[in-house]
Structure 1
Amino acid sequence: MESVTPVSFSLPQRAVHWATALLVFFNLLFTEGMEEWNRAVRRTGSATAEQVASANIHAYVGIAILILLALRIILRFTSGAPAAPPEEPALFRFGAKLVHAALYVLLIAIPLTGIGAYYLGNSQAGEVHAEVLKTLLWIVIAAHVLGALMHQFYWKTNVLRRMTVG
């Protein structure tokens, strides 16, 4: 049976993409609960129930991101992905592949280092998680958004449409 390259992402792929994006931004923007828990544990060796609950929200969202990423990978293999638009220069196609690969790696590494820090007590994992990987993720997200905007406004392709309305 011959496989056909889709012209846009499937509805489940789009839903998983945007759900992941929302959860990623939630955890990037609302870190206070985890930070407060971490400070309390470092200072006193324990945390209040409220601090634990707040930290758990951050942790559970991170685990949900990891699960959604696994689902996204499965959907990518089962549903395929649209080809890059021909208007996109080869160098930018390569850059897009790098950015997407970096997103996948970071969205696996960040929850895993968070798990290492929160559940296993590995402070080095916590430092890598909160300092290095978080910063890299912001940079890669900026590149991802900039690439989408280049497609929409410079090359005038349908890349944004493929991930929004199909």
Structure 2
Amino acid sequence: MDPVSYSIPQRALHWGMAALIFFNLLFTEGMEHWHHLVKRGQTVTPDDLASANIHAYVGIAILVLAVVRIGLRLVQGAPQPPAQEPPLLKLVAQATHGLLYVLLFAMPLSGAAAYYFNIGSAGDLHADVLKVVLWLLLGAHIAGALVHQFYWKTNVLARMTRGV
């Protein structure tokens, strides 16, 4: 049997991870500053390192929470898409969610490879490609939720907020 709504732990993980993801997407200056110092062979101060570490630790937290989130989804399941959603858009939503899950792993892993193991190509992938794809997918995800709420008037948004 499919659940009607997401569980409280699933909703808490969703919104907690959203906050961490937006934090790391919006506040990249510390990591970027550290990267430029290292790239130029300049001295990295303890403050520079602490600022870069915040970005890295948030990324690690996202990775750990993604593992928990996948486990919860496997155990508790997820609600089916509403019947009002056209088949093509159901496919788009499925692809968007699938790619978001891939990025929940790819972003922290590529960032860790760049930061901790000095793999430059992983850093380029992380900052130049995956970050742009993540922004696009997040925009599509939010737009899809708003279309459900205001155009189709479904309970998709309520399932992830109030649990209805």
Q: SS in structure 1 opposite 2:22?
A: helix
Report the counterpart of residue 141 of structure 1 in structure 2.
138
Q: SS in structure 1 opposite 2:129?
A: helix
Does the alignment pair 1:111 with 2:108?
yes
Deviation at 1:107?
A: 1.3
Which residue, out of 49, 52, 61, partners 2:46? 49
Report the counterpart of residue 12 of structure 1 in structure 2.
9
- Contiguous gaps of at least 5 residues in structure 2: none
Deviation at 1:45?
A: 5.0
Report the counterpart of residue 25 of structure 1 in structure 2.
22
1:91 counterpart letter in structure 2: L
Report the counterpart of residue 80 of structure 1 in structure 2.
77
Report the counterpart of residue 69 of structure 1 in structure 2.
66
Report the counterpart of residue 130 of structure 1 in structure 2.
127
The CA RMSD measured in Å over matched residues stands at 0.8
Report the counterpart of residue 148 of structure 2 in structure 1.
151
* Aligned-partner Cα distance in 2 for 1:51–1:29: 17
Deviation at 1:5?
A: 1.0
2:61 counterpart letter in structure 1: A
Deviation at 1:42?
A: 1.1
* Aligned-partner Cα distance in 1 for 2:98–2:79: 16
For each residue in 1:27-77, what CA deviation from the matched residue of structure 2 results, as whole angstroms up to 9, or x when unmatched? 000000001101111112541100000000000000000111111100001
Identical-residue share of aligned pairs (%): 58
- Alignment TM-score, normalising by the size of structure 1: 0.96
Report the counterpart of residue 88 of structure 2 in structure 1.
91
* Aligned-partner Cα distance in 2 for 1:149–1:114: 31
For each residue in 1:117-158, what CA deviation from the matched residue of structure 2 results, as whole angstroms up to 9, or x when unmatched? 000001111011001000000000000001101100111000
- Alignment TM-score, normalising by the size of structure 2: 0.97
